[in-house]
Structure 1
Amino acid sequence: MTTIAPHRPDVPTRPRREWWIPASLLALTLVPVAAGVFRVAELAAGEADARNQRFFDSPLPVVVHVLGACVYTVLGAFQFMPSFRARRPRWHRWSGRVLVPAGLAAALSGLWMAVWYPLPAHDNDALMLSRLVFGSLMVAGLVLGVLAIRRRDVRTHQRWMARAYAVAQGAGTQAIVLGPMVLLVDQPGGNLKAAGMTVAWVVNLAVAEWLVRRSQARSGQSRRRV
């Protein structure tokens, strides 16, 4: 005799449980997206001063960076739901064709600005080096992720794409890390700011590594049960 377990409406399905991931990532983008929109609006209004003159002298990298980062971080948040990817593989592939160019645009324009824009008064070479290292890691992650999926290495593809996205989300975590510093110090010096930004990027990378490895481990266990 077969016993059918009663339906338990109080137990959420896996897709519902997974919504915390994109919801958290979207919340993390609020501050940097708002700051980016404000920066572009500032450029459009033509309100230059000593603090933002470098953006007015060469505005194209700023616009490319803001647009690329907004598309990449917002759309990319939904790539971290395994059940969503499984149910809509075509959406996953086509959105990837948007995400990779957007991510590369954001990363490469960020690298250009780090190298060619004059350093603000409170920044220093340590901060520029941190931006170059993690910006290069984002570019490498996107390229290696694409190469991995072209040879059908899904696990490696997922790991590199997660790392690239973690770097892109650095601005959101940096707002959390540097926010208390701004309240205490008003304007953190270059070394303190560089340390805070680096810590934020490292935290993001650690969380991304944990999430993707956990997802892959669960996927492997499910296949072994079948």
Structure 2
Amino acid sequence: MALVPVLNGALRVSELASGATVTAANARFFDAPIPIVAHIVGSTLYLLLGAAQFVPSLRQQRWHRYAGRVLVPAGLISALSGIWMAITYEMPESNGTSLAAVRVIVGALMVAGLVIGLLAIRRRNVRVHRAWMIRAYAIALGAGTQVFTFLPWTLALGMPGTIMTTVLMTAGWAINMVIAEIVIRRSARR
């Protein structure tokens, strides 16, 4: 699932670097490229390194700790730049203010998850650390899941309107959060 946002980010960076034609759909990125590039770099690092954090054999090694020192700042950059863009970028018509509000909320939840997870591990509370890092990672994977909420709708009914865009995007984050909570609860029972 991380592959979808990583590939999309690579395409966006190459579009910016190559000086592609500015359109209504991409003008905001050309007008203010720093937030989108920070978001893409932070998200790519977070998603790729973060996936390895779930490999049990790596959690028992120092690698997990060292990678975490890269992951938390990368995750914070991803979330905070996402919030910044939701607030400051002029979005296409299909992205209404309700979607901007949802993006701010999930970005804030991701920041909270990273901070709570970091504070928990500093207190050596592995159970709380693990739960909040899973939640933060689930939020970061939202763009990957949104493909599965958007694609069937778009293929069957065409591009969704403003309200349905918000519903479909929110569904991607909600699905991930439900799965994260199931994983957290199952591991707590073991």
Answer yes or no: same fold by TM over 0.5: yes
**Given the alignment of the two structures, is residue 109 of structure 1 paired with residue 109 of structure 2, yes or no?**
no
Residue 16 of structure 2 aligns with an amino acid whose one-letter code is L
Query: Residue 5 of structure 2: which of 13, 27, 32 is its match?
Result: 32
Q: Which of the numbers 138, 141, 166 marks the counterpart of 1:194? A: 166
Would you say the 8 A contact 1:114–1:132 is kept in 2?
Answer: yes
Deviation per residue, 1:150-176 (Å, 9 max, x gap) = 111111111111100000000000011
Does the 8 A contact of 1:82 with 1:215 survive in 2?
no
Instruction: Output the CA distance in 2 between the equivalents of 1:102 and 1:64.
Output: 9
- Kindly provide the amino acid, as one letter, of the partner of residue 189 in structure 2: A
Which residue is 2:123 aligned to? Answer: 151
Q: Give the one of 26, 51, 62 matched to 2:25.
A: 51
- Give the partner amino acid of 2:179: V
Aligned partners of 2:43 and 2:140 also within 8 Å: yes
Is 1:213 the counterpart of 2:185? The answer is: yes
TM-score, normalised to structure 2's length? 0.95
TM-score if structure 1 supplies the norm length?
0.80
Q: How many angstroms apart in 1 are the aligned matches of 2:67 and 2:120?
A: 17
Q: Distance in 2 between matches of 1:211 and 1:83?
A: 18
CA distance in 2, matches of 1:153, 1:184: 47
Moved over 3 A (4+): none
Number of equivalent positions: 189
TM-superposition CA deviations, 1:119-165 (whole Å, max 9, x none): 21211011111111111100010011111111111111111111000
Greater Cα radius of gyration, structure 1 or 2? 1
- Which of 140, 149, 157 matches 1:168? 140
Q: Which secondary structure does the structure 1 equivalent of 2:53 belong to? A: helix
Amino acid at match of 2:167: A
- In the alignment, the residues of structure 2 paired with residue 124 and residue 183 of structure 1 have an alpha-carbon distance, to the nearest angstrom, of 22
What's the secondary structure of 1:80's corresponding residue? coil
Q: Distance in 1 between matches of 2:18 and 2:183?
A: 41
2: CA distance, partners of 1:192 / 1:206: 20
1: CA distance between counterparts of 2:95 and 2:84?
16
* 8 Å contact from structure 2 (residues 24, 92) kept in 1: no
Identity of aligned residues (%): 52
Tell me what 1:21 maps to: none
Q: Give, as a single letter, the amino acid of the residue that structure 2 aligns with 1:31.
A: V
**CA-atom RMSD in angstroms:** 1.2
Aligned to 1:76: 50
| Distance of 2:33 and 2:58 partners within structure 1 | 37
User: Counterparts of 1:170 and 1:67 in 2: how far apart (Å)?
Assistant: 16
